Amino acid sequence: MTAKLAVLGTGAIGSSIGADLARAAYDVILIDQWPAHVDAMKADGLHVTMRGEESHIPVRAFHLCEMKDARQWALHEQLDIVFLTAKAYDAPWLAEFIKPFLKPDGVLVSVQNSLMDEWIAPIVGRQRDIGCAFMLSADVFEPGRVNRNTNQIETKFVLGDLDGRITPRLEEAAQILGHAGQTRITTNIWGAKWSKLMFNGMYATFRGALGATKQEMLDDPKVMDMVAKLAVEAAHVATALGYTLEPILGLTSEDLKQLTEDTFRKFMLKVFGDTDSKSTSMVQQDIAKGRLTETDLINGLIARKGQEANVPTPANQALNAVMRQIEEGALQPGLSNLRLIERHMSGTPATA
């Protein structure tokens, strides 16, 4: 029997996944709250550009409001797997929204940043929530058009049951998602999510605050020192809370358990990969679109978890405070924001 799938939240990540699943001939619907994007997908499918090659993939797209009209359909043809690919802060209400459309034995796969499964599991049920840590770079600035920076070989998905079980639905979700990238099943999904949280906090959000290219960050020793501070804080919090971080950037789980800034500096080049890349971080894209970033659910969450574990997180707290000023329009991204972050850390008012 063919699984009935949905991709809920079709921004850059969701559109990339949705396009690949549609191209693989899965019974998949794409649902989103951006009216122009949904209208463009309805009229002319998705256009995906990847390294100069453009693909045109017809898709079945729905506005959120149309799903209300589709409730009768949902009662007869409920969904087996929903890939939730919206912004982290939209996870709780979208989980509530899609819950009536999910089969009793169906699952929701949270392909999102942060630790959103902590909020999703109480809504859909812990046994129906599959966590996913991922590496996929893409952007959507025009309705119906996706610019994908990582191809299916470079894209990585790590999926896991919240309790570490290997279930048929988990294996099925991993197999299906394999059409969009390389997939791996883990019995330590919380460790994988924490490793991704660490990466986002030290790179994506920090780069957004600086408005910098990869190369500009790499060329500034003080910037790289701050990258190390952000990473080490996150690793120490996770360890203090009892999580075993999954290997990332060439660092083993044992390396991450005892991570120091000196140890981390040896792996800096792997953090930044291709320094000639023109891609922007997710936070830079959010700032360019004038919308809320996920920083408070990344660096802010690391800081709040640090308080729980009695682990100091001055760098993550400071970055979160500066990013809040940028979101409010009181501050512009720029390399000079490093000084403001340092002032926050020292307790000095962070004014320009």
CATH assignment at residue 96: 3.40.50.720
- Mean pLDDT confidence for 142-150: 96
- CATH number where 224 lies: 1.10.1040.10
Together in a domain, 87 and 159: yes
Query: How, if at all, do strands 129-135 and 156-161 pair?
Result: antiparallel
Which residue, of 187, 205, 240, is where some domain finishes? 187
Q: Which residues contact 229 (CB under 8 A, 6 or more apart)?
A: 261, 315
DSSP state of 182: E
Q: Is residue 157 part of a domain?
A: yes
**Secondary structure (DSSP) of 276-299:** T-----HHHHHHHHT---SGGGTH
If we measure between CA atoms, which residue out of 89, 76, 65 comes closest to residue 296? 89
Q: Are 88 and 136 in the same domain?
A: yes
What is the C-alpha separation between 4 and 26, in angstroms, rounded? 8
pLDDT exceeds cutoff 60 at 352:
no
pLDDT in tens, 302-348: 999 999 999 999 999 999 999 999 999 999 999 999 999 999 999 87
pTM here is 0.94
| Residue 16 forms part of a structural domain | yes
Task: Let me know whether 11 and 91 are in one domain.
Answer: yes
Domain termination site, one of 134, 159, 187:
187
Q: Do 183 and 199 fall within a single domain?
A: no
Are 18 and 88 found together in one domain? yes
The string of pLDDT tens digits covering residues 20-37 is 999 999 999 999 999 999
128 assigned to some structural domain: yes
Are residue 169 and residue 222 in the same domain, yes or no? no
Task: Report the DSSP pairing between strands 79-84 and 138-142.
Answer: unpaired
Residue 123 domain boundaries: 4-187
pLDDT at 7 over 50: yes
Count CB atoms within 10 A of the CB of residue 346. Answer: 10
Q: Which residue bears the tokens 């996944």?
A: 17
Does residue 351 lie in a domain region?
no
- On whether residue 352 sits in a domain, the answer given is no
HSE-CB at 350 with a 13 A cutoff on CA atoms is 24
Q: Is 114 left (phi over 0), alpha (psi -120 to 50) or beta?
A: left
Task: Tell me whether residue 306 is in a domain.
Answer: yes
pLDDT confidence of residue 69: 65
Please report the pLDDT score of residue 267 as a whole number.
77
**Same-domain status, 86 and 171:** yes
337 in a structural domain: yes
237 plus 135 within the same structural domain: no
pLDDT at 51: 86
Last residue of a domain, one of 187, 216, 244: 187
The encoded tokens of residue 167 equal 């279930």
List residues bridging with 135 in a β-sheet. 156
Name the pLDDT band for 252 (thresholds 50, 70, 90): confident
Same domain, 267 and 285: yes
How many domains, in total, are found in the chain?
Answer: 2
